[in-house]
Chain A
Amino acid sequence: MSSNMAPNVCAVGTPGRRKVYSMCGMCAVRCPVEVTVEDGRVAWLQGNPNDKLLGASLCAKGAAGIAFENDDQRPQTPLIRSGPRGSGQWRRASWDEALDYIADKLKETIEADGPRGIALSDRGGLFADLTKTFVKALGSPNYFNHDATCAGNVHNAARSIIGFSPTGLIPDFKNTKHLVLYGRNIVESLVVKEAKAFMAAIANGMQCTYIDPRASITACKATRYWQVRPNSDYALNLALIHEILKREIYDKDFVERFVVGMDELREAVKDTTPEWQASHTGISAEQLRDFVTEIGTQAPHVIFNPGWMTARHKQSFYVSRTTLILNALMGNMEIPGGFVIAKPPEYYGRKSLKTLAARVPAVTEPRVDGAGTDRPTWDPAIGMLHQLFAAMETEQPYRVSAYIAYRHDPLTAMPDAEAMKRAMDKLKLLVSIDVRYSETGWYSDVILPESTYLERANILTQMPGSVPVFLMRDQAIAPRFDSRPAWWIFRELLHRLGIKEALDFETIEELWNYQLEGTAVTVAEMREEGIVSLAAEPKLTPRDALKFPTPSGKIEITSDLLNEAGLLSFPPYETKAAPSGDRFNLLFGRPPVLAHGQSLNNPLLNELAPEQVLWIHPERAAPLGIADGDEVEITGGGKYSGCLKAKVTQWIHRDAVFMLHGYGATVPLATRALGVGVADQRLQEGKLYDFDPAGGGCALTKTIVQIKRRVTGGSKS
């Protein structure tokens, strides 16, 4: 077995200048990129101009990919823990030794608990066929993506109402007259293509209503900003629907033909008047009515963004559901200026890539988190990661003893690191496969260094769209250290467990050829431009043929998924008490130069990272003696606390404070990020098992923190 050889693509070190098409790896968006390689080094990196909507554009994180590549502060060989978990004592290991070590522990787990005792999490997205196949090949149902703290609520809400993921709704900003955003911070939490299209539409006169307790930069580009009370958006939506139905400002023809459950909807909103919502949200009845009047003139070219990071509070699932209902009322589906429904290759008479998952038998064992069984509204394809930790801790409904975090850092991404560590302490095996030192990696038994996105090739991927495409991440340069690509790592682990068929490929080209079978696209064509469109022009499905992938074929305001789960279609709004004194709802977000916890150690992004400050309203700061620029101490009720400067501003709601996420790292070998700022997730004390029961997402913005002015000169606690 050639397990000591890095499986480079053919001719990766060729002298001279060449262009390689890849996909960025600096955040989970994975924009297509064009890499210019000169004598085996990256000379220039830009967006892949063959993706016409992206062009050469690249964000700061993407541009800093070269600095990441050249940085030595990343795992350089496999490491096996030689002291207690988290002690930072490691020994270098060969790939054979590290893989054998993991395989032995996996075998022990399978013997003691069955394959279901093994779990894996990643950040989902375009390459998840590989990780899902690995877990399925083991015979475990327990694959998780990171959506418990991201898009879980909106994903499951969309699944219950339109029958597919919200990523299948593609906004046609170019022809949109009004875009409504519920804290979707388009110009800071960047998807480059989306930000570009959004700004072009704004310049072209698109109206934008931005709803958020804090005025982000997106609020500063919007035409209307509503500073709502934290976690009150469900009340706002119930009142919007009330007013739209009352004034009959909805597309009656569309609703008649494509929506079921209108009677239940009318009943649910009969008392949720604009006046009713005002006391909950802080938005006046008059403002709400003016808005409804405005969109009445703009429908159907009005889009209500259903959200992305929606792990906010315990009714976030219903916020996304009602947002999707607002879109249905606008009748904006599958029309210019509305949502275009993403098409698979088959829609255009082409064939999808062959999945790797199809090579292994289905797993019938129930998931450990109950997704798809005890929890019918939770999509079993993504799972809910907090319930994995619950199972580790309680061994209920069954024991999980081995956990692999692939390019995922739950100790940064999930709330309450101490609670997670308690759960992980029960594991026989904790593995981190990553390109960097993550908090989770540092707590692991084994770190396997994956080659960076510039140093590796991935499986091919396809993206459904108005025109579906195949995308390629080809290998641009040889690895600088003793790292390996993920497909090879998972193949080697499976081989050691005697599971050959799932990933039985010697080279990535062989794997690509399998994926491309029957598609009439070749590896050479993929390499030519990095992106292959599967149709010449986008096509819209005519209204007569429009059908949704739900049991009724329509948009389902009432859903069997909810009925089976014993959940109401429209639970009453849960009134939120305003925190007072030194107590605030903790809100968090990210700047455009950082992708969560993974950017702060990058030499070029570290110097751009804004100083982490705490936004606080002047009327709440004054009684606490806090002035702009003062040092304040923040606690979440547990042992962890931190200090940062106050930014006293009217652009944050009185009930909330806001800080940036991705700071407060503790890994000593990542020296630039070490100790910089405060980790909001560690302030989210006791929040690991606080989640929206319907959507499954964590209730992160329910976190209450206490703030006090830091008195300097005295004794330090």
Chain B
Amino acid sequence: MSKYMLRHDEANCIGCQACEVHCKTNKNLGPGPSPCKIISTGPIDVGGQPRIRHVFMPCFHCEEAWCMKTCPTGAMQRREKDGIVFVEVSLCIGCKSCITACPWGTPQWDPATRKVVKCDYCKDRLDVGLQPACVTKCVTGCLSFGVANEVPDPRRERYARFIVAESSGSV
């Protein structure tokens, strides 16, 4: 697996889909491919309140990446230094095997280049010390990125605050 973690804090997500456009503009993509996707479902009834679920689907950069295994040309590669799975565009023949193989629907077909494009954590940006586009420009800051276990995880703290508030009767 990649050493990184791209965390989506769903509680803080508003489903605004800005991340999808940030991603596409960094990769210079037109209509069609969406290397990351927010899927919103609802409202549903949760304890009498309306709630919407927002699921964020980038690439998981699997350890056993089926997209890499199926790629006939070696275009789908893993970076040694950090485990990022990416497409070497010059080798991609547009056969779509990776699109078929990926269980998450991550690789995308780009009709403009007739090749595959996918989330590579914006390695062009990482390599100059920046964060992925989706994280950098997220409206609420619900996306965070970094080396796993070093990315702040707001959930434990939030839960602790919640139970304290609950016991003091202010919820």
Q: Which residues of A contact B (CB under 8 A)?
A: 44-47, 56-60, 62-64, 66-67, 187-188, 190, 192, 195-196, 199-200, 203, 205, 215, 217, 219-225, 297, 592-593, 603-608, 649-651
Contacts and interface: CB of A to CB of B under 8 A. Distances in A.
A275 B155 CA distance: 41
A57 B139 contact: yes
B65 interface: no
B15 A217 contact: yes
Interface in B35-94: 40, 42-43, 45, 49-52
A604 B32 CA distance: 9
B112 to A, nearest CB: 11
B161 A604 contact: no
Nearest to B23: A63
Given A47-B137, A219-B50, A651-B50, A58 B43 contact: no
B154 A203 contact: yes
A57 B31 contact: no
Find the residue from B25, B49, B154 having the highest chain A CB count within 10 A: B25
Contacts of A58: 18, 22, 137, 139
B1 interface: no
Given A190-B16, A608-B21, A220 B50 contact: yes
A62 B136 CA distance: 14
B11 A203 contact: yes
Contacts of A223: 49, 171
B138 interface: yes
B15 A592 contact: yes
Contacts of A67: 25, 30
Interface string B1-31: 0000000000110111110111011100011
Given A45-B25, A64-B21, A67-B25, A199 B140 contact: yes
Contacts of B18: 57-60, 62-63, 592
A592 B17 contact: yes
Find the residue from B18, B30, B136, B158 having the highest chain A CB count within 10 A: B18
Contact of B43 (A56, A195, A606, A651): A651
Given A58-B139, A62-B18, A67-B25, 6 more contacts: A59-B139, A60-B21, A63-B22, A199-B140, A217-B40, A220-B49
Interface in B136-169: 136-142, 154, 158, 161-162, 165
B136 A46 contact: yes
15 contacts: A57-B140, A59-B18, A60-B17, A62-B18, A63-B21, A66-B25, A67-B30, A188-B16, A195-B14, A196-B140, A200-B140, A205-B165, A592-B14, A605-B21, A608-B17
B68 to A, nearest CB: 28
A28 to B, nearest CB: 17
B22 to A, nearest CB: 5
B43 A219 contact: yes
A224 B171 CA distance: 11
Contacts of A592: 14-18
A199 B20 contact: no
Nearest to A219: B50
Contacts of A46: 136-137
State the 4 A-B residue pairs at the shortest beta-carbon distance, nearest first.
Answer: A215-B50, A63-B21, A592-B16, A187-B14
A225 B49 contact: yes
- What is the interface of chain B mostly: helix, strand, loop, or mixed? mixed
A44 to B, nearest CB: 8
A622 B163 CA distance: 42
Given A205-B165, A220-B42, A196 B141 contact: yes
A44 B137 CA distance: 11
Find the residue from A57, A63, A190 having the highest chain B CB count within 10 A: A63
Nearest to B157: A203
Contacts of B25: 44-45, 63-64, 66-67, 604
A203 B137 contact: no
Interface residues of B, number: 38
A206 B14 CA distance: 16
Contacts of B30: 67, 603-604
A46 B19 CA distance: 12
Nearest to B165: A205
A442 B122 CA distance: 41
Contacts of A224: 49
Find the residue from B12, B137, B162 having the highest chain A CB count within 10 A: B137
Contacts of A649: 43
A60 B22 CA distance: 7
A199 B14 contact: yes
Contacts of A651: 43, 50
Contacts of A605: 21
Contact of A220 (B52, B141, B171): B52
Contacts of B161: 205
Contacts of A221: 14
Nearest to A604: B21
Contacts of B50: 215, 219-220, 225, 651
A632 B77 CA distance: 49
Given A63-B25, A225-B50, A195 B17 contact: no
Nearest to B9: A203
Contacts of B162: 205
B24 A217 contact: no
Contacts of B32: 607
Contacts of B17: 60, 592-593, 608
A302 to B, nearest CB: 13
A483 B17 CA distance: 31
Find the residue from A67, A608, A649 having the highest chain B CB count within 10 A: A608
B164 to A, nearest CB: 10
A388 to B, nearest CB: 35
Contacts of A603: 30-31
Contacts of B12: 199, 203
A219 B32 CA distance: 31
A649 B50 CA distance: 11
Contacts of B11: 203
A59 B16 contact: yes
B136 A56 contact: yes
Nearest to B161: A205
Nearest to A177: B170
A187 B16 contact: yes
B54 to A, nearest CB: 9
A604 B18 CA distance: 11
B139 to A, nearest CB: 5
A196 B139 contact: yes
A651 B43 CA distance: 7
B97 to A, nearest CB: 25
B138 A57 contact: yes
Contact of A63 (B43, B137, B171): B137
Nearest to B51: A220
A63 B142 CA distance: 17
A651 B44 CA distance: 9
A599 B155 CA distance: 35
Given A220-B42, A220-B52, A593-B17, A195 B139 contact: yes
Contacts of A195: 14, 16, 139-140
B60 to A, nearest CB: 23
B8 to A, nearest CB: 14
Contacts of B138: 57
B122 to A, nearest CB: 11
Contact of A217 (B20, B26, B45, B52): B52
Nearest to B32: A607
Contacts of A190: 16, 139
A611 B37 CA distance: 16
A74 B153 CA distance: 45
B24 A604 contact: yes
B42 A192 contact: no
A46 B135 CA distance: 12
A217 B14 contact: yes
B20 A608 contact: yes
Nearest to B154: A203
Contacts of B142: 199
Nearest to A197: B140
